[in-house]
Amino acid sequence: MNVKSESINIPLATEKVKGTRLFSYKNHERWILGSILPILLIIVWDLAGRVGLVEAYLLPTPSRIIKEIFNMAIEGTLFGHIGITLGRVAIGFSLGTLFAVVLGSAVGYFNLVEKIMDPLIQAFRSIPALAWVPLFILWMGIGESSKVTLIAVGVFFPVYINVVAGIRGVDRKLIEVGKIYGFTSGETLRRILLPAALPSFLTGLRTGVGLGWMFVVAAEIMGASKGLGYLLIVGQNTYSPELIIASIVLFAVIGKVTDSLLKKLEKKVLGWQDSLSNQL
């Protein structure tokens, strides 16, 4: 009996180990597959620099860029610049999102507000980001307030558009259910429209955080003394392409991390949906 039970238990244990390994790969599959192309590009880039196909003063090799980042970390300046930029993006993103949700909810739900406010907001949306820079400097100087305001403006529009589109796209039957239960306009907005518009809102957040990272560069050109955008200007003025590309790489990595966090939040919050993304 003992021999028989052992012969049964061994395959089961093996299957369990295999299942664990497969599950572990499944958890990291997106990262593994997503890193293939960047790794190939880095290898080609490094080889092109080493054999002289690309001049080092135009495009330094990845090893020089990594060394530049490492040196800044050793000197203790790297995390200070990253922290300043992260703080500006976080504050600007929060303010832009707050105003976008408030105005987008009102415009999406009330036709009168939409007719009054939306044409002006759409006109402002067409103004290029850099066109705001001299005006914000004139109004608020070159301090933090002008930088944060510029980032908030960049975040506001994609979130606003997605909130309005999400609310306008809600099934009218859901609103009728709210009327049956005697919901006020505020309750209908809070308990029906905003939850139903959540997928569109989260998409707007991801777009907004991407634009936030784009606008922080323009913001930190406005006389900043710290930040990743400031390092770009220093690299330009000192003819240091490795510093410029190191700053760009840091922007790309941190931007990807923030987008991944929002994407993870989106998948968790919208896990109840029977959608294609939840099946992958």
Per-residue pLDDT tens listing for the chain (280 residues)? 444 444 444 444 444 444 445 446 666 667 777 778 888 888 888 888 777 777 777 788 888 888 889 989 998 888 999 999 999 999 999 999 999 999 998 898 888 988 999 999 999 988 887 788 888 888 888 788 888 999 999 999 999 999 998 888 887 787 777 778 778 777 777 778 778 888 888 888 999 999 999 898 888 877 778 888 889 888 888 888 889 999 999 999 999 999 889 888 888 877 656 554 555 5
Model confidence pLDDT, tens digit, residues 3-43: 444 444 444 444 444 444 544 666 666 777 777 888 888 88
Q: For residue 193, how far is the Cα from the chain centroid?
A: 24
Question: What pLDDT, on a 0 to 100 scale, did the predictor assign at position 152?
Answer: 93
Kind plus residue range of the DSSP H or E element containing 141: none
Note the pTM of the prediction, 2 decimals.
0.78
Question: What pLDDT, on a 0 to 100 scale, did the predictor assign at position 8?
Answer: 45
Question: What pLDDT, on a 0 to 100 scale, did the predictor assign at position 184?
Answer: 79
Nearest CA to 197 among 227, 222, 162, 226?
A: 162
The set of residues, in sequence order, having a beta carbon less than 8 Å from that of 247 and lying 6+ positions away, is 228, 229, 231, 232, 235
Alpha helix stretches (DSSP H) within the chain? 2-50, 62-75, 78-109, 111-125, 129-140, 144-168, 172-180, 185-188, 194-196, 198-220, 228-237, 241-269, 276-279
Question: What pLDDT, on a 0 to 100 scale, did the predictor assign at position 155?
Answer: 93
Per the listing, tokens 């506001």 go with 156
Question: What pLDDT, on a 0 to 100 scale, did the predictor assign at position 280?
Answer: 54
Per the listing, tokens 């290898």 go with 43
Question: In angstroms, rounded to a whole number, what is the distance separating the alpha carbons of residues 259 and 236?
Answer: 28
CB atoms within 10 A of CB 111: 9
Question: What pLDDT, on a 0 to 100 scale, did the predictor assign at position 111?
Answer: 87
User: How far, in Å, are 26, 27, 189, 226 from residue 265 at the CA level?
Assistant: 19, 16, 22, 30
Question: What pLDDT, on a 0 to 100 scale, did the predictor assign at position 61?
Answer: 83
SS3 state of residue 182: coil
Q: Which two tokens stand for residue 189?
A: 């907005």
Domains of the chain in start order, with CATH, are 64-269 (1.10.3720.10)
Q: Which two tokens stand for residue 121?
A: 């907001």
**Burial class of residue 198 in the structure, from the number of CB atoms within 10 Å of its CB (0-12 exposed, 13-18 middle, 19+ buried):** middle
Question: What pLDDT, on a 0 to 100 scale, did the predictor assign at position 238?
Answer: 86
